[in-house]
């Protein structure tokens, strides 16, 4: 007889472990709530609110960590609390908090909203226009920059012929989606007029759609560009502004039934790397993406069409990027699939001094980490190599312990 300790990062890891044991599927869903622990940061609490929160958490079998001097704080002071427990415990505590005075009803309501994203299994497929992609294992989005100034491959595929050739190569190497972009979003990049952006991407999309079955994504925050690309056959909109830049973008995505990626970016490409600041980078981005999902759904976009991206390198320091990746599994609790684009990013240069052409191994290491943390989509430059990583990790996940 032996006992082993196992650390699970997310619900999907626990679900897979139970499946490997042969646990009944109904029993698996019941026990997930008991095996998985959630942690929430509750901010701007008065001492009285914090003490009641602690009381209700303990009453539910959960707990709340408070500053040790909370009992001696002035009544108008404020503090944070860490609330942690299983989903069922948090759900019970949120119901009790909704009955409390002193503004704690709002805390209970907010916890219920967050739990609604945690309680539901992620969609099995990513829906886009007239097709869907299975997400039973991570999928790869290949980067195709039709630009003269992108940080890694700028100018390599700036004419449509070479761009189409590279797009077909990405598909052959195993890309599940090809992401075509006509405007660089590297730090300091200048905006491109819609007419010029369309001149760059439209011929490429049209030829790829005719010659390649792999779904095409348009990397743009402009509704006019997205509309023309979707009309030409693209099925996915990768919007670095998370539907904030162009008020018409929601309607375009909804009308075409496209998939959409909502990315976090602090500032704009021209200024986003000028001293980015956060109270807590993970909590702040989670709050932002939660609001963006809510906005998209309320605007008529089906939740099964939505993907989120924490925006590695977009208004973040290298330390911010590392912290986001360390906690990337937390983003899977929002009820939609997570995309990560860390391929050959400048953080590798800042952390290790590697130039873009020497960042492949680091990019693959991050890809493997993200897969283990529950990330569903990897946006990469090096499709062939990343495909080997995805297939290798998937093989390990399929092997049952004796």
Q: How confident is the model at residue 365 (pLDDT cuts 50, 70, 90)?
A: very high
Give pLDDT, residue 139. 96
3-state secondary structure of 200: helix
Q: What is the mean pLDDT of the chain?
A: 88
Q: Considering only 273-282, 347-356, 374-383, which range has the smallest mean pLDDT?
A: 273-282
Q: How confident is the model at residue 14 (pLDDT cuts 50, 70, 90)?
A: confident
Give pLDDT, residue 154. 53
- The model carries a pTM of 0.74
CATH of 37-118, one of 1.10.1060, 3.30.1370, 1.10.3060, 1.10.3470: 3.30.1370
Q: How confident is the model at residue 120 (pLDDT cuts 50, 70, 90)?
A: low
Angle between helices 223-231 and 194-211 (to 10 degrees): 20
Give pLDDT, residue 21. 77
pLDDT tens across 182-193, in order? 998 767 677 889
CB 142 within 8 A of CB 162: no
pLDDT tens across 307-350, in order? 999 999 999 999 999 999 999 988 987 889 999 999 999 899 99
Q: How confident is the model at residue 401 (pLDDT cuts 50, 70, 90)?
A: very low
Give me the helices (H) in 271-317, please. Answer: 281-298
Interatomic CA distance for residues 300 and 367, integer angstroms: 32
Give pLDDT, residue 258. 98
**Which residues are CB-neighbours of 21 under 8 A, at least 6 positions away?**
none
- Kindly tell me if the per-residue pLDDT of 151 is higher than 70: no
Compute the half-sphere exposure of residue 198: CA atoms within 13 Å on the CB side of its CA. 14
% of the chain beyond a pLDDT of 70:
90
- Kindly tell me if the per-residue pLDDT of 364 is higher than 60: yes
Start-to-end CA distance of the chain, whole Å, equals 14
Give pLDDT, residue 400. 45
Of 322 and 38, the structure prediction assigns the larger pLDDT to 322
pLDDT tens across 368-399, in order? 999 988 899 999 999 999 999 999 998 886 65
- Write the DSSP string, 350-388: HHH---GGG-HHHHHHHHHHHHHTT--EEEES-HHHHHH
Give pLDDT, residue 8. 67
Give catalytic residue positions.
Answer: 345, 379
What residues pair up with 216 in beta bridges, in sequence order? 178
Any idea which residue has 């009820």 for tokens?
Answer: 335
% of the chain beyond a pLDDT of 90:
58
- Write the DSSP string, 30-94: HHHHHH--EEEEEEEE-HHHHHHHHHHHHHTT-EEE--TTGGGS-TT--EEEEEEE-HHHHHHHH
CA dihedral (121, 124, 126, 130) in degrees, to 10, reads: -130
CATH 3.30.1370 in the chain: give the residue spans. 37-118
Would you identify the CATH topology of the domain 125-398?
Answer: TIM Barrel (3.20.20)
- Strands (DSSP E) along 102-190, which ranges? 125-128, 131-134, 139-145, 177-181
Nearest residue to 362 via CA among 370, 234, 32: 370
CATH 3.20.20.20 in the chain: give the residue spans. 125-398
What residues pair up with 308 in beta bridges, in sequence order? 262, 338
- Kindly tell me if the per-residue pLDDT of 150 is higher than 90: no
- Kindly tell me if the per-residue pLDDT of 254 is higher than 90: yes
pLDDT tens across 55-75, in order? 999 999 999 998 888 878 887
């Amino acid at each position: 007889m032996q006992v082993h300790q196992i650390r699970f990062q997310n619900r999907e890891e626990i679900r897979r472990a139970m499946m490997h044991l042969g646990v009944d599927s109904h029993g698996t869903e019941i026990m997930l709530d008991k095996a998985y622990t959630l942690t929430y940061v509750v901010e701007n609490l008065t001492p009285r609110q914090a003490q009641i929160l602690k009381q209700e958490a303990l009453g539910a079998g959960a707990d709340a960590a408070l500053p040790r001097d909370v009992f001696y704080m002035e009544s108008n002071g404020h503090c944070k609390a860490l609330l942690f427990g299983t989903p069922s415990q948090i759900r019970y505590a949120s119901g009790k908090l909704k009955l409390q005075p002193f503004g704690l009803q709002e805390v209970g309501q907010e916890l219920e909203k967050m739990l609604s994203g945690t309680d539901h299994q992620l969609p099995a497929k990513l829906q886009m226009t007239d097709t869907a992609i299975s997400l039973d294992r991570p999928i790869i989005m290949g980067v195709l920059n039709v630009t003269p100034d992108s940080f890694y491959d700028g100018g390599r595929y700036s004419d449509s012929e070479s761009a189409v050739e590279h797009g077909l190569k990405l598909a052959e190497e195993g890309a599940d989606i090809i992401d075509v972009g006509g405007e660089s979003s590297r730090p300091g990049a200048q905006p491109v007029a819609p007419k010029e952006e369309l001149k760059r991407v439209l011929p490429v999309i049209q030829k790829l759609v005719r010659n390649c079955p792999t779904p095409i994504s348009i990397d743009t925050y402009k509704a006019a560009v997205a509309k023309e690309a979707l009309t030409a056959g693209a099925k996915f909109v990768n919007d670095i502004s998370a539907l904030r830049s162009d008020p018409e973008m929601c309607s375009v995505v909804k009308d075409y039934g496209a998939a959409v990626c909502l990315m976090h970016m602090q500032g704009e490409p021209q200024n986003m790397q000028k001293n980015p600041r956060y109270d807590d980078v993970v909590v702040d981005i989670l709050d932002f993406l939660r609001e963006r999902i809510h906005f998209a759904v309320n605007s008529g976009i089906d939740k099964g069409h939505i993907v989120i991206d924490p925006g590695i390198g977009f208004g973040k320091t290298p330390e911010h990027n590392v912290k986001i990746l360390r906690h990337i599994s937390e983003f899977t609790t929002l009820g939609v699939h997570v995309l990560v684009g860390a391929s050959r990013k400048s953080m590798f240069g800042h952390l290790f001094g590697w130039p873009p052409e020497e960042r492949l191994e680091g990019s693959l290491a991050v890809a493997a980490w993200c897969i283990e943390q529950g990330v569903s989509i990897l946006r990469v430059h090096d499709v062939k190599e990343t495909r080997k990583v995805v297939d290798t990790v998937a093989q390990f996940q399929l092997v049952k312990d004796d």
